[in-house]
Amino acid sequence: MNLLNFLYRQYSKNVVANTLTFKVKRFISKTLYNIFAAQYYKSNKMKLSGGNDVIVSLTTFPDRIEKTWLVIESLIDQTIPPDKIVLTLSSKQFINGLADLPKELLSQLNRGLEIIWSEDDLRSHKKYYYVMNKYPKSKVITVDDDFFYSQGMVEHLLNANQQYPDAVICNLAAKKNGSSYKDWKNMLFEEVLPTTEIMQYGGSGVLYPPNSLHQDAFDKKKILNLCPLADDIWLNCMTIINNKKIVKTSYPYYLMPVYFKTTRALKDINVGEDMNSIQIKKLKEYYKDYE
């Protein structure tokens, strides 16, 4: 595991610039990490407690399901593990249920993984919607399906939660600047104390204490009408209009990508086609308190 930690640190240290040297170092680090992580996690037999206090939640879709078990292994292999991990899947996408899932993922059902099946498909919003409805008293940490997570990610969020128990805690965030998402700035490793001036990046690991979100967060019609493609922006809005603040930690690890053969990431649509800005505008027009 020391090798994986070393590679993760190297990758994180080289995200601060886009020179050729930094790009080459990032490429080497993430390539080696993807190779060795699969070998390491095949031998991991650790079990989670199965409780409901701290839950890590994610969703995925068929193009990524073959490697979801690797992401989950990185979430089990934490310095302070969560009590359980919940994966929400749409029965519209996996029409044969468990039969459509790889054996590596199925084996994790005996080690602290729970699968929630949804009859509809809220896309990325599935990562929080169903688990928060099922476990309203739990601390829910949202993550993405296309990153490995460094060992201290959960511990770092929980430590900050002890200091700021009513705040939403994240490891990465954007500094908001008007309604154009292209003007929002990734803050990397800078610490930010409780504020409403940043947007939490869900992929970094975001801890939501119970009752963090406004009740509209669970209104499917509003989700689909106002912000169907950008769960981060939606959750930022739902946090702020619920009179909660956001804390960004100084956690020094960035996000290690999982390699996939093919797949168009949702961020390619939201950022590349500037759908984020369109959705931000809709939210600001509908919720006057969203700044």
Looking at the structure, do residues 164 and 26 belong to the same domain, yes or no?
no
Contacts of 269-276 with C-beta under 8 Å, sequence gap 24+, read 269/229, 270/181, 270/229, 270/230, 271/181, 271/182, 274/180, 274/181, 274/182, 275/229, 275/230, 276/181, 276/230, 276/233
pLDDT the model gives residue 265? 54
Has residue 218 been placed in a domain?
yes
Domain membership of residue 103 as a residue range = 54-286
Residue 126 lies in a domain: yes
Which residue in the block uniquely carries the two structure tokens 């509003």? 222
pLDDT at 291: 79
Residue 267 has what pLDDT? 53
Q: Mark whether 9 and 69 lie in a shared domain.
A: no
Q: How confident is the model at residue 271 (pLDDT cuts 50, 70, 90)?
A: low
pLDDT mean over 77-103 = 97
Q: What pLDDT, on the 0 to 100 scale, is given for residue 115? A: 98
Whether residue 137 lies inside any domain: the answer is yes
Alpha-carbon 221 to chain mean position: 23
What is the C-alpha to C-alpha distance for residues 48 and 278, in angstroms, rounded to an integer?
41
Mean pLDDT of 266-279: 70
Please state the rounded mean pLDDT for residues 13-27: 90
Is residue 175 in some structural domain?
yes
Average pLDDT over residues 21-29: 93
Do 27 and 62 lie in a common domain?
A: no
Structure-token match 């950008």, residue found: 230
Distance (Å, whole) CA 259 – CA 138: 31
On whether residue 291 sits in a domain, the answer given is no
Q: Same domain for 8 and 77?
A: no
Same domain, 177 and 35: no
The yes-or-no verdict on residue 44 having pLDDT over 90 is no
Q: Are residues 223 and 89 in the same domain?
A: yes
**Average pLDDT for the chain:** 94
Same-domain status, 92 and 182: yes
Mean pLDDT of 46-74: 96
Q: Are 59 and 85 in contact (CB under 8 A)?
A: no
Cα 276 to Cα 229: distance, rounded to the nearest angstrom: 8
Neighbours of 8 (CB within 10 A): 23
Beta-ladder partners of 186: 174
Same domain, 206 and 242: yes
Q: Are residues 207 and 99 in the same domain?
A: yes
Average pLDDT for 123-148: 97
Number of neighbours of residue 271 by Cβ within 10 angstroms: 15
Q: Domain check: are 121 and 228 in the same one?
A: yes
Q: What is the mean pLDDT of residues 197-211?
A: 96
127: in domain: yes
Residue 49 inside a domain? The answer is: no
Q: Are residues 11 and 63 in the same domain?
A: no
Residue 204 has pLDDT above 90, yes or no: yes
262 vs 19: which has the higher pLDDT = 19
- H helices of the chain, in order, are 2-13, 20-41, 68-76, 103-107, 126-134, 153-163, 220-226, 231-240, 266-272, 275-286
46 domain-assigned:
no
Name the one residue in this structure whose structure tokens are 């829910």: 140
User: Left (φ > 0), alpha (ψ -120 to 50) or beta: where does 188 sit?
Assistant: left
Q: Summarize pLDDT for 207-260 with one digit per residue, the tens.
A: 999 999 999 999 999 999 999 999 999 999 999 999 999 999 999 999 999 999
% of the chain exceeding 70 in pLDDT: 96
**Are residue 120 and residue 6 in the same domain, yes or no?**
no
Whether 134 has a pLDDT exceeding 90, the answer reads yes
Q: DSSP string covering 176-228, please?
A: --SS-GGG-EE-TT--EEEESSEEE-GGG-EEE-TT-S-GGGG-HHHHHHH-S
SS3 call for 258: coil
Note the pTM of the prediction, 2 decimals: 0.94
The residue length of the chain stands at 291
First to last CA, the chain: 43
**pLDDT category of residue 273 using cuts at 50, 70 and 90:** low
The residue-averaged pLDDT of 77-104 equals 97
Number of domains comprising the chain: 2
pLDDT beyond 90 at 126 = yes
Q: 178 near 169, Cβ under 8 Å? A: no
Q: Residue 27: its pLDDT value, please?
A: 95
- Write the single-letter amino acid at 81: P
pLDDT of residue 268: 52
